[in-house]
Amino acid sequence: MSKIIPFKAVRPTPDKVALVTCRNYDDYSPAELASWLDFNPYSFLHVINPAYVHSQKITLDKRFKGVSLKYQDFKNDGIFMEEEKPVFFLYEIQTKNQSFTGIVAGTSIEDYKNNVIKKHEDTLQYRVELFKDYLHQTGFNTEPVLITYPDNAAVNSWITEKKKEQPIYHFSTTNKEKHTLWKIETDAEITWLENQFEKIPELYIADGHHRSASAELLYDQNKALGNENLNNFMSFLIAESNVKIYEFNRIIRDLNGNSKEDFLQKLSENFIIKSKEQELWKPQSKFEFGMYLDGAFYALFYKLEKNTNSLLENLDAQILYDKVLQPILGIEDLRNDERIEYIPGKQSILTIKELVDEGEFEVGFMLFPSDISEIKALADNNLIMPPKSTYIEPKFRSGLMVYEL
């Protein structure tokens, strides 16, 4: 049984929402970030990085306090407003090729602890601690955890009807997305949605494993204070058929002392290798891999039969690690080895070609994306995917919704 909880959101006033909301901070190049901060006084980027000119010169403690103060400034200046009572929201994101619709709600730390909300990625403790400190000192979160639920005909039908109503926001952004938000505020609607989710036995985290782990840690350390807002964390709940899962491709700086010929020979022990020359070839199914090396593309077909006893060993990202990255290229730590970098699969494979051709990297690998059933099966068996196995959309706009702690 899953619980969703209405909450008193803080959000931008309708006339400023398009100016306030922004992409994830890390998505901006330094030049783009400086431009937004210089010319848009309403951007939530001012809150996230209140002293951006001096950001390398201040301690994390001072930065977090600065975030809290800047957020209060935005509230005092009337840029943000607070709901009068706890509510849910329905949020739609339309990109050029996709449309995503989900419910913004609180989800239960208790469900997270009891594995009703399931995980498929490992977390780094220092990142969990860091974001916990951020939450504690700033007193708010604006990045919901992306959670999937099984497709539900009744909920789908309700969403279709709800979207016929007048939204509270409808705006476009400079990356050519359209964003629409509806408020779910009647007692009848709130109770009905709560009852629908109570019938769902498990929810699955798609993106936001560190955020949820940080919320749990903050709760554990402060539950004696009796702050009910710590009992839950903000989530964006979306039907599993409506998420878009991309792979993360890998680029490696060197061949670990192997010549091209030696490298190809070692690969041939586990893969059938077919040269594709200049064809921009991508894997067409599981157990296939693309490779770009020395000006040419290759198709790699895994030779071994499917291991029926191991979900993890059948994962393409794990196969690449077990058969190539670790034994041949000597990469042990996928998170911290500076010889490997990751390119989201939504980017063109020309990006990989360009980076290798420029000489900074020696070889690139393209993977076939996992699907939701694979992710759920791993989570159900308490298995952890290798780092950077999935890049999942949609991505929530920062500053659109604030969950105060």
For residues 84 and 80, what is the distance between their CA atoms, to the nearest angstrom? Answer: 13
Judged by DSSP in three states, 35 sits in: helix
Q: Which of 55-64, 108-117, 257-266 has the lowest mean pLDDT?
A: 55-64
Which segments of 198-339 are extended strands (E)?
203-207, 232-239, 244-252, 271-277, 288-293, 296-302
Two tokens at 373? 């059933």
Task: For residue 113, give the nearest of 232, 26, 29 by alpha carbon.
Answer: 232
Q: Which CATH class is domain 247-369?
A: alpha beta
Task: For residue 203, give the nearest of 160, 157, 146 by alpha carbon.
Answer: 146
Enclosing H/E stretch for 343: strand 340-344
Q: Which part of the chain has CATH 3.30.1760?
A: 247-369
Q: What is the mean pLDDT of residues 212-226?
A: 94
Burial class (CB in 10 A: 0-12, 13-18, 19+), 180: middle
Residues 94-101: contacts with CB under 8 Å, at least 24 apart: 94/177, 94/178, 94/179, 94/180, 95/176, 95/177, 96/176, 98/244, 98/393, 98/394, 100/238, 100/242, 100/243, 100/244, 100/393, 100/394, 101/159, 101/163, 101/238, 101/242
CB 8 within 8 A of CB 83: yes
Judged by DSSP in three states, 220 sits in: helix
Task: For residue 98, give the nearest of 236, 241, 204 by alpha carbon.
Answer: 241
pLDDT at 52: 53
Q: Rounded to 5 degrees, what angle do the CA atoms 4, 124, 22 make?
A: 60
- Does the pLDDT value for residue 54 go beyond 60? no
Q: How many CB atoms lie within 10 A of CB 61?
A: 10
Which segments of 6-164 are extended strands (E)?
10-12, 80-82, 88-94, 99-108, 117-118, 140-141, 145-149
The pLDDT > 70 percentage for the chain reads 97
- pLDDT averaged over every residue in the chain: 94
- Does the pLDDT value for residue 102 go beyond 90? yes
- Does the pLDDT value for residue 308 go beyond 70? no
**139: DSSP letter:** -
Task: For residue 178, give the nearest of 97, 236, 241, 234 by alpha carbon.
Answer: 97
Q: Which part of the chain has CATH 3.90.1530.10?
A: 4-242+393-404
For residues 308 and 310, what is the distance between their CA atoms, to the nearest angstrom? Answer: 6
Q: Which CATH class is domain 4-242+393-404?
A: alpha beta
Peptide bond into 6 cis (omega under 30): no
- Most confident range (mean pLDDT) of 47-61, 122-136, 248-262, 297-311 is 248-262
